[in-house]
Amino acid sequence: MTTSPPDAAVHVRDLKKRYAVHEKEPGVLGSLKSFVNRKTRQVEAVRGVSFDLQPGEVVGFLGPNGAGKTTTLKMLSGLLHPSEGTARVAGFDPRRRETAFLKQITLVMGQKQQLIWDLPALDSFLVNQAIYEIPDQQYRDTMREFTEVLDLGGILTKQVRKLSLGERMKCELAAALLHRPQVLFLDEPTIGLDVNMQEAVRDFVREYNRRYGATVMLTSHYMADVTALAQRILVIDAGTLVFDGDLAALAGQGSGGKTIRVQLRQPTPAHALAAYGQVVSTDGLSAELTVPRAEVSARAARLLADLDVADLTVEDPPIETVMAELFGANRPGTAVTGPEPEVPA
Ligand SMILES: Nc1ncnc2c1ncn2[C@@H]1O[C@H](COP(=O)(O)OP(=O)(O)OP(=O)(O)O)[C@@H](O)[C@H]1O
């Protein structure tokens, strides 16, 4: 095992990934042409990304569709080989997929499953126990803990194909963490889950991080996952890291203003409130206003002086708004907020 650099759980320098994509004109003629004269095009999915994650950090990895998130996580798990650059995870070179490395990491992809479809989840857990050489006592302890935190009682012995999406995702997570990895790559772990199930997954990840001091790198289209779990945010856009900092700093990236929420003791019409900022919503007694960042203090002071105010708070805009502003509206196909969760699983 080679350990470098010291201390970092994940160390990434100038990591690049190019995919070779074969191009083919449509139709039979296109197929024939490509058979004799095959054309390939390079897609630069990741264009020189660098960062370090310290042990125990929970980091949100955000970016629009096609930005390079999954490609990066696959390189860090050793499923893809980088075209250039260096990656070290838990001190290992992921490309080599050494057993000791695989025991230290996990990759959970919300869209893929590792459980055996026709068997109960418990059988997949036993397979993982054997693969990861988990001692019996540790297996029993971890199973007891996960069953409690994820509320798995009653579903472990059901055929996986008969589980609801939410139940299956909980079992997927348990299977992926049974060997108690130190570095977790979670790619859309809550996708498609209803709000309650999303929260159950978040609670589990938070508890696992607290209990085992694991490092977590998480992608999600649900900003609630990110704001609830991550202390630090990395934003990737078109294969390039464009932001690395905390949530508050990311919120400050938006050109839009801050939000003033005000509770009034006397009903006040919207046109009167408009003197203090752009009225986003009001029912007469409570209102949400957007004000330019530089004028927040002055506008809030005027509001307090002019009106009978019961309560007033100043907030950064929701992270969804900032991300939509950075990547949304005028960037077709780059929406960062995903679909609404489906009906309860
Ligand atoms: N196997 C592949 N062959 C060719 N191009 C690929 C392949 N996998 C991904 N890409 C391309 O690489 C780019 C980055 O894709 P990637 O899946 O890493 O993005 P992402 O940020 O995870 O997106 P999303 O949020 O939509 O899942 C995209 O342009 C994608 O089309």
**What are the pLDDT digits (tens) for 238-297?**
999 999 999 888 877 766 688 899 999 999 999 999 999 999 899 989 999 989 888 999
- Protein residue whose Cα sits closest to atom 4 of ligand 1: 19
- Protein residue whose Cα sits closest to atom 17 of ligand 1: 70
State ipTM.
Answer: 0.97
Structure confidence at residue 304 (pLDDT):
95
Structure confidence at residue 3 (pLDDT):
44
pLDDT more than 90, % of the chain:
67
Closest ligand 1 atom number to CA of residue 72: 18
Beta pairing class for 84-89 and 105-109:
unpaired
Q: Which residues, including other chains, have CB under 8 Å from residue 335's CB and lie 6 or more apart?
A: 64, 65, 324, 327, 328
- The whole model's pTM is what? 0.82
Whether 217 contacts 185, CB under 8 Å: yes
Give residue 240 CA to ligand 1 midpoint distance, Å: 13
- Protein residue whose Cα sits closest to atom 24 of ligand 1: 65
Question: What is the per-residue pLDDT across 115-153, written as a single tens digit (0 to 9) for each?
Answer: 999 999 999 999 999 999 999 999 999 999 999 989 898
Q: Return the SS3 of 87.
A: strand
